[in-house]
């Protein structure tokens, strides 16, 4: 088990049951969210300190913006969408008897606390889940960058990128039927080959701070728990990204 982790959830994962092709008009899908919270609760029971970053895609994505819209304003809307999601998630954790705190890089009245490394670590030591919202408070950063940044600040062991794809492939599996998924791969190869399952800035941050990353399919049963246990079964639905001086090291 990892001692301290940062989990990244996409906003879209909150909006619908990602194991189903059916769509929903609701921005929050209760069953999916409760399953995620229960999995995280089980991980915390085993002694792992957990923090969470959630996207805002169930409410707003930059691609929703009109072409003439200012990019900075579009990104600010996205930041506020992550705050809404984080406050909602914090309440679901509360209902499951887990104390949660939402931290943002900017003040949101009495709704969140301003981010502080020392305060975040203090909360995690006390058994809270800390949810980071609002990105870094500035535009032009993806929500994949934030968990890598917070992991470096908090000296986390691993970043878990829970996605709707089951890992990193040598080419786009949606376009190429012969695409092959990696079990393990180095940051250097991800960056060199521009394997875009993850934000490259996030990969550089993790590599520079020697932090492992796991990219995996959230809809696999108990995916978060299996990822945290470093289980061999993880390789059925995810890819581990490691720091390794052998630039082309990988396992398919």
Per-residue tens of pLDDT for the chain, all 252 residues: 899 999 999 998 888 654 444 444 589 999 999 999 999 999 999 999 999 999 999 999 877 778 889 999 999 999 999 999 999 999 999 999 999 999 999 989 999 999 999 999 999 999 999 999 999 999 988 888 999 999 999 999 999 999 988 999 998 888 899 999 999 999 999 988 888 667 889 999 999 999 999 999 999 999 999 999 888 999 999 999 998 777 678 888
Which secondary structure element, helix H or strand E, spans residue 242, and what is its range?
Answer: strand 238-242
- Residue 6: count other Cβ atoms within 10 Å of its Cβ: 28
Q: Which of 232, 218, 238 is closest to 35 using CA atoms?
A: 218
- Which residues touch 5 (CB under 8 Å, ≥6 apart)? 43, 48, 49, 50, 51, 151, 156, 157, 158, 159, 160, 228
CATH (domain of 177): 3.40.1160.10
Residue 62: what pLDDT? 75
Cα first-last separation, the chain: 24
pLDDT score of 235:
95
- Angle made by CA atoms 125, 8, 249, in degrees to the nearest 5: 105
Confidence (pLDDT) at 174: 85
Number of domains in the chain: 1
**At 181, which helix (H) or strand (E)?**
none
Q: Which domain holds residue 156?
A: 4-251
Confidence at residue 249, expressed as pLDDT on a 0 to 100 scale: 82
């Amino acid at each position: 088990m990892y001692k301290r982790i940062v989990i990244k959830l996409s906003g879209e994962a909150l909006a619908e049951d990602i194991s189903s092709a059916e769509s929903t008009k609701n921005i929050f899908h209760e069953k999916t969210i409760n399953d995620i919270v229960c999995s995280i609760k089980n991980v915390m029971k085993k002694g792992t300190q957990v923090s969470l970053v959630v996207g805002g895609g169930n409410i707003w994505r930059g691609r929703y913006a009109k072409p003439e819209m200012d990019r900075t304003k579009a990104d600010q809307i996205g930041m506020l969408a992550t705050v809404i999601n984080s406050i909602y998630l914090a309440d679901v954790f509360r209902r499951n008897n887990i104390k949660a705190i939402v931290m943002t890089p900017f003040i949101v009245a009495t709704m969140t606390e301003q981010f502080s490394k020392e305060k975040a670590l203090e909360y995690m030591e006390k058994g809270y889940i800390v949810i980071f919202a609002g990105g870094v408070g500035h535009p032009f950063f993806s929500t994949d960058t934030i968990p890598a940044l917070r992991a470096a600040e908090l000296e986390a062991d691993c970043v878990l990128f829970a996605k709707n794809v089951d890992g990193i492939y040598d080419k786009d599996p949606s376009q190429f039927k012969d695409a092959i998924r990696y079990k393990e791969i180095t940051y250097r190869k991800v960056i060199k080959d521009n394997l875009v399952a993850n934000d490259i800035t996030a990969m550089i941050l993790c590599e520079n701070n020697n932090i492992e990353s796991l990219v995996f399919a959230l809809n696999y049963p108990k995916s978060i728990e299996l990822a945290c246990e470093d289980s061999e079964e993880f390789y059925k639905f995810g890819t581990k990204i490691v720091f390794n001086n052998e630039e082309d090291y990988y396992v398919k």
